Amino acid sequence: RIAARIDRPVVLVGLMGVGKSTVGRRLAEMLGSDFVDADDAIEDAAQRSIAEIFEEFGEAYFRDGERRVIARLIEEGGGVIATGGGAFVDPETRSLILERAIAVWIDTDIDILVERTSRRNTRPLLRNGNPKEILTRLYNEREPFYSQAQIRVESKNAPHAETAKAILEAID
Ligand code: S3P
């Protein structure tokens, strides 16, 4: 049957490695809407990779850019937006998303995240220490924020298309 129609952007939140970008792309296909990855939009705006932004200017600078870019993407009304894992922790970004969009927290087990993030070492926050310890700490710190999302789906090891379908059903 015809996919759900959305009148607000759907914003995917959750820890790095959970599959926000791939799930988001699938979900946008199912909805027949646009997809945009906020991290890519930040890299485009800065003309630098996320790792370079962290290295050259630091995390606080990255968070400022992230806040502005996400506000712009929501303003533009883009269908499905994948955000970087820390975006929803920022109070301003979080309220904007909760007011103007539908926040979807993709949750999964830490071990799955450790496995997935180990495939590519592009994430500045995982470079200085044991990835499992860092991800566990971030999970505990961020869970109180992620759990404020209107929708939570648990992806476990499901194929990303299945997680996208679960979201589709939840927002219907
Ligand atoms: C971050 C997650 C990354 C990226 C940056 C910071 C975080 O995005 O925004 O490295 O604070 O969790 P992904 O969640 O897409 O890896």
pLDDT in tens, 60-81: 999 999 999 999 999 998 799 9
d(CA 32, CA 156): 26
Q: Which of 121-125, 141-145, 161-165, 168-172 has the lowest mean pLDDT?
A: 121-125
Q: How far is the CA of 86 from the centre of ligand 1 (A)?
A: 6
Contact call for residues 109 and 155 (beta carbons, < 8 A): no
Q: Is 4 part of any domain?
A: no
The confidence band for 122, taking pLDDT boundaries of 50, 70 and 90, is: confident
Residue 39 is part of a domain; what is its CATH number? 3.40.50.300
d(CA 62, CA 42): 8
What 50-55 contacts at long range (C-beta under 8 Å, 24+ apart), as own/partner pairs, is: 50/84, 50/122, 50/123, 50/124, 51/122, 51/123, 51/124, 54/124, 55/124
Q: Is 74 part of any domain?
A: yes
Q: How far is the CA of 163 from the centre of ligand 1 (A)?
A: 20
Q: Considering its fold, how many domains does the chain have in total?
A: 1
List residues bridging with 104 in a β-sheet. 12, 151
d(CA 110, CA 137): 10
Query: Mean pLDDT for the chain?
Result: 94
Q: Is 8 part of any domain?
A: no
What pLDDT score was predicted for residue 4?
A: 62
Domain of residue 94: give its range: 18-171
Record the pTM. Answer: 0.95
Round to the nearest angstrom and report the end-to-end CA distance of the chain. 12
Is residue 20 marked as binding? Answer: yes
Q: Report the complex ipTM.
A: 0.97
151-154, strands of its sheet edge to edge:
35-37, 80-82, 10-13, 102-107, 151-154
Q: Is 26 part of any domain?
A: yes
d(CA 146, CA 84): 12
What pLDDT score was predicted for residue 1?
A: 42
Is the distance from the beta carbon of residue 19 to the nearest atom of ligand 1 less than 6 Å? no
The confidence band for 2, taking pLDDT boundaries of 50, 70 and 90, is: very low
Is the distance from the beta carbon of residue 14 to the nearest atom of ligand 1 less than 6 Å? no
Is the distance from the beta carbon of residue 125 to the nearest atom of ligand 1 less than 6 Å? yes
Is the distance from the beta carbon of residue 85 to the nearest atom of ligand 1 less than 6 Å? yes
Which atom of ligand 1 is found nearest the CA of 122? 10
